Amino acid sequence: MKKTDTKERILQEALRLFSQKGYDAVGVAEIAEAVGIKAPSLYKHYKSKHDIFESIIKRINKADTDQATEHEMPLENGTEVCPSVEKIHSYTEAMFLYWTREEFSSRFRKLLTLEQYKSLEMSQLYQNYIAGGPVQYMADIFKTMTGSYEEAFSLALEFYGPMYLLYSLYDSSDDKEEIISALKRHIERFFKRLKGEITFETKRLILRPWREEDAEELYKYACDPDIGPIAGWPAHTSVENSREIIRNVLSAENTFAVVLKETGLPIGCIGIMKNANIPTNSNEAELGYWLGKPYWGQGLIPEAAKECLRRCFEDMGLERVWCGHYDGNEKSRRVQEKCGFKYHHTEYDKPCPLTNDVRTEHISVITKNEWLKHKEEF
């Protein structure tokens, strides 16, 4: 047997025994016997039982980092980067499978569960990996969505609490696939509800997710041929058409109805987009907007856009936001200027798929540093 194979078997057998009997109940001699070597031979590979345990932790830490990297998630707490809902969803499912189906990490979780009340070290490790650590990690992420730590922490508890319980149910269940399905249903319902709760306010406006019951108000303004076509999308043809667009387009993450506080009704739309009309990197986004004609010239879209820029740079941790307008859309150009965007470049003969034509588009950009320098002026 090769030396590396023996060292790996020691690690695997030690963790198996720790997870079944507890750390203190297992001695070096028992580990060596399980591997099929003499106790003195074990010390050629590890200095002590605690050295074995430290090696287990190092492997767990590497696996944690690999999972986060693979799913493009923050590597540590205190993040200012806002991952997409889709990334959080896939990462959460992957981590649940990692802590349940993968033998090494599953045994480590069971070991910490057994030992959490026996020593301060094990209690801290249990909190870091299984309890408080994941809650804090999710709270930091949710803060980038809500802007409030108190609200973010409450959301983290709501999100992770069922997952924490499902670990125990998984271990004792004869139908483990049903537990996985229950986890997926929980995540889907949580984010569906969360999307409907995220709102932002300005002096005159509320920015909130679109609702199907907004279809009539949406159609009232989106049917105007002076609204959609100049922005690159066709005028809506009916209330039902508007309802379908709410379901299939305006339900996207970070797409908001611009609601007038005075009436409580939507009068336009604004969205923070990734790789929609303008290619963006992970730390960038594109801003898009339109407003019903009766409300033009009142500074309402600049007011909404400034709040979205605050969200981009403060809540989502972005470094750059892009915005474009087609030739002739001077109102959109003026909005960008009022919000601090600076002209970057022009793209000619650019396909506009929704209206089936080609156009000239002028692209502007604002960086986080520029926004910070002048945000009180914008």
pLDDT tens, 265-315? 999 999 999 988 888 888 999 999 999 999 999 999 999 999 999 999 988
Task: Please state, in angstroms and rounded to a whole number, the distance separating the CA atoms of residues 217 and 179.
Answer: 42
Residue 47 has which token pair?
Answer: 């200095």
Q: Give residue 280's region: left, alpha or beta (phi > 0; psi -120 to 50).
A: beta
pLDDT tens, 217-255? 999 999 999 999 999 999 999 999 999 999 999 998 899
How far is C-alpha 295 from the chain's CA centre?
34
Residue 67 has which token pair?
Answer: 């999972």
pLDDT tens, 85-114? 888 999 999 999 999 999 999 999 999 999
How far is C-alpha 135 from the chain's CA centre?
14
Q: From the CB of residue 172, how many other CB atoms can be counted at a distance below 10 Å?
A: 8
Q: What mean pLDDT do residues 123-135 have? A: 96
pLDDT over 50 at 1, yes or no: no
DSSP secondary structure letters along 268-289: EEEEEESSSSS---TTEEEEEE
pLDDT computed for residue 4 by the predictor: 54
